[in-house]
Chain A
Amino acid sequence: MIPASFDYERASSVEEAISLLGSHEDAKLLAGGHSLLPAMKLRVARPSMLVDIGRLTDLSYIREDGDAVAIGALTRHHDVANSDALHELCPIASYAAGQVGDPQVRHVGTIGGSVAHGDPAGDMPTVLLALDATFVAQGPNGTRQIAAGDLFTSLFETALAPNEVLTEIRVPKSKDRGWSYLKFNRRAQDWAIVGVAALDGASPAVALTNMGLTPIRATAVEQALAGGADPATAAQQAAEGTAPPDDAFASAEYRRELAKVLVRRALEDASG
């Protein structure tokens, strides 16, 4: 109920945050804290230091930028969900943000925090993966861009270095693409048992939530579609290459079957 003790520093710039991260072993960034604090309260997570970047308000923005929409990493789910720019230019992102947690969580939790947490059951990582988003990270040696396909490396692990700060997420404009995000859960506030993000268009994209150690692309489905298969046929490939969890919510077997059904529905939904 109460976290173990830790040191606390509030960063006034990204640079300071990076420096603080480097100064302390086992330091963690605190943005909204809605992934980290619950684990700390159960004392499952015990970072020695929290570097609070919550006040870096210049990292909270959504703006059109060429072919992409740039979303500051500290933009809250609530703001992503209610962004006129995203409704217009990338509606799947704003829709999915509205599916995260509950209203109170969306008032605090950030898109960057959700991404950096690397939870395969999170909604936003899957959608960003389907969108082929680009992640901008800043570290001691400057800024680099990470492709969505390279970011999520394992369970709760990303390609971000311990002293890197995710600063921006760039999503390609997708206003001309049909889309669907189907989140299958038992209660509205829960994580997805399985989720499917689908975007149609010249090269259809399908990504899966909670079907492996990371959010994953349903590559076999995408290939089948590219080869001209109809959604129902392509969806039969949805479980290929997946390694879904077996837990109190659902068995791996059920998740695989669910993925096939949901992929078909998402594809129909996206093209409908």
Chain B
Amino acid sequence: MAATETFVGTPVLRKEDPDLITGQASFVDNQTMPGMVWMYVVRTPFAHAKLNAVDVGPARSMPGVIAAYTAVDLAGDFGGPLPFVWPITEDIKVPTHQALTSDKVRYLGDGVAVVLAETRVQAKDAAEAVTYDCDPLPAVTDMEEAMKDEVLIHEDLGTNVTVHWSHGGAGDQSVFDTAPVIVQERYHQPRLIPNAIEPRGCLAFGIPAQGEFTLVSATQIPHIVKVTLSGTCNIPEQKLRIIAPDVGGGFGSKLNVYAEEALALVLARKTKRPVKWVEERSENYLATIHGRGVTHDCTIAASEDGKILGMKFVEIADMGAYYQLLTPGIPELGGWVYMGPYDPQAYWYEFRGVLTNATPTDAYRGAGRPEATYVVERMLDALARRVGKDPADVRRMNLHPPHAEAVTSLMGLQVDSANYEPTFDRALELVGYEQWRKEQASRRDAGDLRQIGIGISSYIEMCGLAPSNILGALRYAAGGWDGATIECLPTGKVILKTGTSPHGQGHETSWAQVVADGLGVTPDDVEVLHGDTAITPLGMDTYGSRSVAVGATAIHFAMEKVRAKARTIAAHELEVSEDDVEWSDGAFRVKGAPEKAKTVPEVAFSAWHAHALPEGVEPHLNATAVWDPPNFTWPGGTHICVSEVDTETGKVDILQYVAVDDCGNVINPQIVDGQVHGGVAQGIAEALYEEALYDQSGNLMTSTMQNYLIPSAAEIPPLTLDRTVTPSTTNPLGVKGIGEAGTIAAPPAVVNSVIDALSHLGVTDVGKPASPERVWRAIQQARAEGPPGGPSSSRSVAAPVSEGGAA
């Protein structure tokens, strides 16, 4: 009997592609409805101002205008403020965040009025006619300035330092005083703008007489939007449906619940017309969350030969003007991975969250873990310089020993299976580490204007969010489970309803592969439905590299249930006991007589017509499972970047980039590689190109794609990938997650390579992004200070925090 083809582990081509490559996608801006009106949110040019009055009267008389409202006009239409679901400490101070502001403008994205008109253009024109009376206030966008509390963003809170979270320390803290080597550094990581290429947008409509409403939104989290906006918009949850259509990327920026979504729903109810809103890109830069924006004081305590004894990180994190959905939870998420793949005896992490007159920060690809990994890996290089060792050697001697089962880490979480050294070795081998060191030496000897640097980044990440009990202990408002429903159709086809909500990750394909193997069908036989709360009510959506580890595992268990039922029916029809039936080659077969078999499609047909089902078996072959993971998953890996630095101009060219990741078992290697490619490119962008810059009055200077530098294919180098496989022990699929690994690993690999290229000149620090000017300044400064005299001193200069235009 021919073996049935299996699909898991093979590069099945994506089921998602046909509509996307032919221009038939369902992106929200492609959707229109009879009677639809356009919404435009009026924002002011002030980062901070007292709002005395807003006059929408002039807008109401503009052509095509249906309505125009201020916050006061809509006061009775909302059931509550915008959602914030992660009050991470008992004494956290939570700013009030309304869909439109009425008392003060606290950042450039604050809406003060909303206009509805028949067309997109009319809405925009009318928005310009809205007038407001504002008294500008001093704006503060620098965290350390904000911490002085001279300018308060929310007066009622009494301070801008609204949250302090501390892990509290683990292990013997005395090493930070007694260790023979203490390395201390301060690193700043600027704000980043996520820049999903599809802007945010939404379309709200309903049957007002029934109180039923639907929101089609470019969101990563339809299920969370439903629960939260039910309250904000005062729509009973059973009457609210959220649909995420084709969504053009998210990277965390669509892992949120925004004012415009709430406004569209409320106004669809108020005006009884479908309401559509699509943001402009320059609006996205102001009113869609930013990421990062953190400064760390870092300490590593080590032995004289470089063995790490303790790791300590004290962070301040820019929260922006309000808490969005998760804002202060983001640094906390990183707070569990500051040991990296290493094995310190002592650990300390704490952070303070600071309000500023800037766009709220929240999850941006990696969410806390890139911030952590950047400082850890910068510190490893600083330690190597301090003890006079090769950075590869210092890492190797400090890698945590392998473990096949989960172990409890110093910070108290269970870290599942890991084996770091083979991954590390493979990366060094693939990049040709020794060869590059020789090339570096020869260029140094020759005094070449173009110097070579090699940067290493070894990381772990915590993903597969998340065990609900741990989320509860961390004061997060929801659980971390996910759901799946499988329905076997009478014609032999299969419907899978997943609670994950993909926006580029290829779940339709990967999940179909899992189902195909489990039920003995092909991926083409499986239709994957997602992103509609009415069709897939059981879900927690897609973020934090959770979908495969939680969502696909739920599918696995739903499939087990389907197979158990199918096995009962198959045995009945084969007239043998269930014990005599085995699953092999894609069918239930009688042991010893494999030609006597029933396939799942055959059983599905029997279960559907239900003519002769075994006693007590319900018609229809279907099952639902909800999986709550017992632990996070912990992928890891090593990335190595080789850069060439022009020492006259400061320009950095990446000559080679190698990524070796271990994300456990792989369902679709082509899709996994794609996730790494994209993540690494975003990480390279973070390292060399991107930063959001504000001027002294709180204006965003990097306000368009012309000056916020997203790199193109001409800037991103070819990438070399490989993998090791250490199956996760957290879930039966052995999968860990890969969506964020590249973004977590890449920034320190790149920045370390830049510093490494210049270390012989005495350069020990270059801030992020390592722009030509920053690199050039680091060289000038090192030259001014004279050549390095042996291992660097214990405390290097602070990273140059951006001031004005001095990039």
* Interface residues in chain A, defined as those with a beta carbon under 8 Å from any beta carbon in chain B: 1-2, 4-5, 42-43, 184, 186-190, 193, 246-251, 254, 257-258, 261-262
A251 touches B280 (CB 8 A): no
Complex Cα distance, B226 from A231, in Å, reads: 68
Q: Beta-carbon contacts of B16-45 to A below 8 Å, as 1s and 0s?
A: 000000000000000000000000000000
- Given the known inter-chain contacts A186-B771, A261-B649, please indicate yes or no for A248 contacting B707, CB distance below 8 A: yes
Give 1 or 0 for each of B117-150: 1 = CB within 8 Å of chain A CB.
0001100110010000000000000000000000
- Taking a contact as CB atoms under 8 Å apart, the answer to whether B701 and A184 are in contact is no
A248 close to B805 (CB less than 8 A): yes
Q: A261 touching B648 by the CB < 8 A rule?
A: yes
Please determine whether A249 and B712 come into contact, CB atoms closer than 8 angstroms.
no
> Is B172 positioned at the interface, with any CB of A under 8 Å from its CB?
no
Which residues 642-695 of B have a CB within 8 angstroms of A? 648-649, 651, 689, 693
Shortest CB–CB separation between residue B59 and chain A, in angstroms?
A: 15
Q: B711 in the interface, Cβ–Cβ < 8 Å? A: yes
Beta-carbon nearest neighbor of B691 in chain A: A248
Residues on the B chain within 8 Å of A42, using CB: 282, 704
Are A186's CB and B689's CB within 8 A? yes
CB atoms of A190 and B709 under 8 A apart: yes
At the interface, yes or no: B1 with Cβ under 8 Å from chain A? no
The answer for the CA separation of A43 and B706 in the assembled complex, in Å, is: 16
With A186-B771, A186-B772, A261-B649 known as contacts, the answer to whether A249 contacts B807 (CB < 8 A) is yes
Q: A188-B714, A261-B648 are in contact. List 17 more A-B contacts (CB 8 A).
A: A1-B124, A42-B704, A184-B651, A186-B689, A186-B715, A186-B771, A186-B772, A187-B709, A187-B714, A188-B712, A246-B804, A246-B806, A248-B693, A248-B807, A251-B773, A251-B805, A254-B777
B101 at the interface (CB under 8 A from A): no
- List the A side residues contacting B702 at CB < 8 Å: 248
Sort A-B residue pairs by CB-CB distance and give the 5 closest, nearest first.
A188-B714, A1-B280, A254-B773, A248-B701, A261-B648
A-B contact pairs, 5 of them (CB 8 A): A186-B709, A187-B715, A250-B805, A251-B806, A254-B807
B776 at the interface (CB under 8 A from A): yes
Q: A188-B714, A251-B773, A251-B807 are in contact. Are A4 and B125 (CB under 8 A)?
A: yes
Find chain B residues with CB under 8 A from A43 CB: 128
Q: Which residues from chain B sit less than 8 Å from chain A, CB to CB?
A: 120-121, 124-125, 128, 280-282, 648-649, 651, 689, 693, 701-702, 704, 706-707, 709, 711-712, 714-715, 771-773, 776-777, 804-807
| A residues in contact with B771, CB < 8 Å | 186
Rounded to whole Å, the gap between the CB of B596 and the closest CB of chain A is 64
CB-based A-B contact count at 8 angstroms: 67
Q: How far is the CA of A249 from the CA of B802 in the complex (A)?
A: 12
A187: chain B residues within 8 A (beta carbon) = 689, 709, 711-712, 714-715
Pick from B124, B281, B772, B804 the residue with the most CB of A within 10 Å: B772
Give chain A nearest CB distance to B696 CB in angstroms: 13
Measured between beta carbons, the chain B residues less than 8 angstroms from A251 are 773, 805-807
Give chain A residues whose Cβ lies under 8 Å from the Cβ of B128.
43
Residues from chain B with a CB closer than 8 A to the CB of A186 are 689, 709, 715, 771-772
In whole angstroms, what is the CA distance A225 to B447 when docked?
A: 27
The docked-state distance in angstroms from the alpha carbon of A240 to that of B459 is 48
Asked whether A2 and B120 contact (CB < 8 A) given A187-B711, A188-B714, A249-B707, the answer is yes
Q: A250 to B121, alpha carbons, bound, how many Å?
A: 36
A184 CA to B776 CA in the complex, in Å?
14
A184 to B807, CA, bound (A): 15
Please report the C-alpha to C-alpha distance between residue A4 and residue B121 in the assembled complex, in whole angstroms. Answer: 9
Please report the C-alpha to C-alpha distance between residue A261 and residue B772 in the assembled complex, in whole angstroms.
Answer: 13
Q: CA separation between A104 and B587, bound complex, in Å?
A: 55
Bound CA span A33–B610, Å: 68
Q: Which residues of B contact A188 (CB under 8 A)?
A: 712, 714-715
Task: Name the distance in Å between B414's Cβ and chain A's nearest Cβ.
Answer: 43
- Residue from the set A43, A248, A258 with the largest chain B CB neighbour count within 10 Å: A248
**In the complex, what distance in Å separates the CA atom of A184 from the CA atom of B649?**
9
A49 to B772, CA, bound (A): 41
Residues of A near B121 (CB, < 8 A) are 2
**A186-B706 Cα distance, complex, nearest whole Å:** 11
Q: Which residues of A contact B124 (CB under 8 A)?
A: 1-2
Contact call B805/A247, Cβ cutoff below 8 A: yes
Q: How far is the CA of A260 from the CA of B693 in the complex (A)?
A: 27
Least CB separation from B646: chain A residue: A261
* B651 and chain A: residue at smallest CB distance: A184
Among candidates A1, A249, A257, residue contacting B776 with C-beta atoms closer than 8 Å: A257
A43 to B121, CA, bound (A): 13
Q: Which A residue's beta carbon lies closest to that of B119?
A: A2
Chain B residues, CB < 8 A from A258: 649, 772, 776
Q: Complex Cα distance A258/B651, Å?
A: 11
Query: In the assembled complex, which residues on chain B have CB atoms less than 8 Å from the CB atom of A247?
Result: 701, 805
Tell me, in angstroms, the Cα distance from A23 to B18 when the chains sit together: 52
Q: How far is the CA of A76 from the CA of B81 in the complex (A)?
A: 53
